[in-house]
A and B are shown apart, each in its own frame.
Chain A
């Protein structure tokens, strides 16, 4: 094998799997730093702790790849969650409570989608408006008070399914769905195409607005499910819960390699990003790192991820330009 080929393979590995290398290295460091880290229960705890944010992050991943984002997911989660808890308390039906959460969240996301596609509002502004409205609606509905005594509703977030905590099962199922959507459907390919170059996607016959609406609807389903798990996990309907979760979800997606400029990202990468944050949070508490220092470290990780994203993207662009240049030279030579 020539040096060139080895370099090419190494570049390929670096660009596609660097996030998993980082995750593996971090895992080893954490295991060495504290003997409790590697226990099955601790790893299960981390997975359960990241589950809600990761489910939100899968929705964000689809949206970001498509060139959009959702700043309202934490607030919509709270609204969907309290409506769901309230439905359960009033009807005793877990199924109905689950459906209500999804419907409420999907409606909010349809509104997000309409703002973005029909009124051409930048997603940042549209979802920022929804963030405020949904939180306000959750507070108005509950009069700002938590709902207690939620009975069997806790099964969603505190029960077990197939021997695993239920939130983890939900997270894995949604991971599989997101992976399938992005990798194996026309919708998924359209999402990448729109995020990569919206005008080109439009010119090639992709119905951009329809794909964007669908992306928000899928995000709505995920946020609704996350709302049910969150409220169940904290054993209460909390209208002021999940504050800032949209930013944690964005962090997981970006650290996982989803490019803020669109067109690039994967469900598995987002999961890896969420685990990187989860491992870091866990090890910092286990090793008793000062609370203020923890915030600095989290911030630094986000900054590094974004810097890496910009650097990798510019490198890819240069490589593409070089390859185009080489091709044109080759063509000129042949002519």
Chain B
């Protein structure tokens, strides 16, 4: 049995080698020889396991279908610097016309993005951008502004001498750090009366945020607001206090404008968030790619808007998620 299995494996291996050598791999990305030029774009996602990154990758894929002359291949960086760097190198070797990088850790990907530029490939960084690469373009949202739109309204909403808890994203992450700095400058420095009674790193995760909140409510009978660097963590913390009369008026702020967050705002449980629209990022990424590939422009650096979502305008964003199928 083992002998036959070994023989079979060897035959399969040899056949695959022969097939591989005799004929170039046919992929949907192969440029056509006739007709208008089709541009090949490699989109190197940070991690498909990251819900925002997955949302963005899906949006990019959908947006690409609107362009007849652009074909996008999505690659998963698996939240790993070396994997992502290897994918960029592979894309350079495969001579893609453009490479869009959603960095796992901007500085770790910088030399590889520079290599792509040096190889004459159009290079675009997104969510978050890698600043200062000569010849590269970028499409991003400004994390400082995303937090600031919430912080500015929170100044009037959070009561005097309030107790608040803060949930941070992973340290070293460009968006996590910039959002926290924004809250510090735009809110905490202007409201010295507000006391932080708990601050932890919940790594963007809902379940980690839940665990911290469960402990904080034991230590503090009064928590007036949850300040979270993304919606997932805000939703996790709110899960703990929902239905608890002591925290009936608790305020909660996030960033991203996820489907869950807009539903919580509609229910009156969450106060506000700011939209980091993957759809808008995707639209601009493809438009930017098109302009750069066709030579209409040579360099583009842009930020998408980060509108505040609250009870006044939440219906509009619920509709947006309904259209995308994220809300039934």
Interface residue from B198, B207, B215, B258 paired with A230 (Cβ < 8 Å) = B207
Main secondary structure of the interface of B (DSSP, over half): helix
Residues on A with beta carbons closer than 8 Å to the beta carbon of B184:
none
Interface residue from B54, B210, B215 paired with A286 (Cβ < 8 Å) = B215
A230–B171 Cα distance when bound, in Å, is 25
Given contacts A34-B219, A145-B55, A149-B263, contact A45 B214 (CB under 8 A): yes
Given contacts A36-B218, A139-B49, A238-B206, contact A144 B57 (CB under 8 A): yes
Contact A45 B263 (CB under 8 A): no
Residues on B with beta carbons closer than 8 Å to the beta carbon of A234:
206-207, 210, 236, 239
A49–B216 Cα distance when bound, in Å, is 13
Residues on B with beta carbons closer than 8 Å to the beta carbon of A240:
49-51, 54
Residues on A with beta carbons closer than 8 Å to the beta carbon of B328:
149
Contact with A along B194-210 (1 / 0, CB 8 A): 00001111000111001
A140–B275 Cα distance when bound, in Å, is 25
Given contacts A148-B259, A243-B49, A285-B198, contact A41 B218 (CB under 8 A): yes
> From residue A244, how far is it (CB to closest CB) to chain B in Å?
10
Return the chain B residue nearest A154 by Cβ: B239
Q: Which of B277-328 contact A (CB under 8 A)?
A: 326-328
Given contacts A236-B206, A241-B207, A291-B200, contact A144 B49 (CB under 8 A): yes
- The answer to the question of A212 belonging to the interface, with a C-beta cut-off of 8 Å to chain B, is no
- The answer to the question of B39 belonging to the interface, with a C-beta cut-off of 8 Å to chain A, is no
Contact B218 A288 (CB under 8 A): no
- The answer to the question of B161 belonging to the interface, with a C-beta cut-off of 8 Å to chain A, is no
Most chain A CB inside 10 Å of its own CB: which residue of B49, B58, B212, B327: B49
- The answer to the question of A39 belonging to the interface, with a C-beta cut-off of 8 Å to chain B, is yes
A292–B263 Cα distance when bound, in Å, is 34
A230–B236 Cα distance when bound, in Å, is 12
A209–B328 Cα distance when bound, in Å, is 47
Residues on A with beta carbons closer than 8 Å to the beta carbon of B211:
49, 281
Contact A233 B260 (CB under 8 A): no
Most chain B CB inside 10 Å of its own CB: which residue of A233, A234, A292: A234
- The answer to the question of B48 belonging to the interface, with a C-beta cut-off of 8 Å to chain A, is yes
Contact with A along B244-258 (1 / 0, CB 8 A): 000000000000001
A146–B168 Cα distance when bound, in Å, is 20
Given contacts A149-B328, A230-B207, A238-B206, contact A144 B215 (CB under 8 A): no
- The answer to the question of A207 belonging to the interface, with a C-beta cut-off of 8 Å to chain B, is no
A149–B218 Cα distance when bound, in Å, is 28
Contact A143 B210 (CB under 8 A): no
Return the chain A residue nearest B214 by Cβ: A45
Q: Which residues of B contact A (CB under 8 A)?
A: 48-51, 53-55, 57-58, 168, 171, 198-201, 205-207, 210-212, 214-216, 218-219, 235-236, 239, 258-260, 263, 326-328
Q: Which residues of A contact B (CB under 8 A)?
A: 34, 36, 39, 41-42, 45, 48-49, 135, 139, 143-146, 148-149, 230, 233-236, 238-243, 281-282, 285-286, 288, 291-292
Q: Which 5 A-B pairs have the closest CB atoms?
A: A144-B54, A240-B49, A42-B218, A285-B215, A45-B214
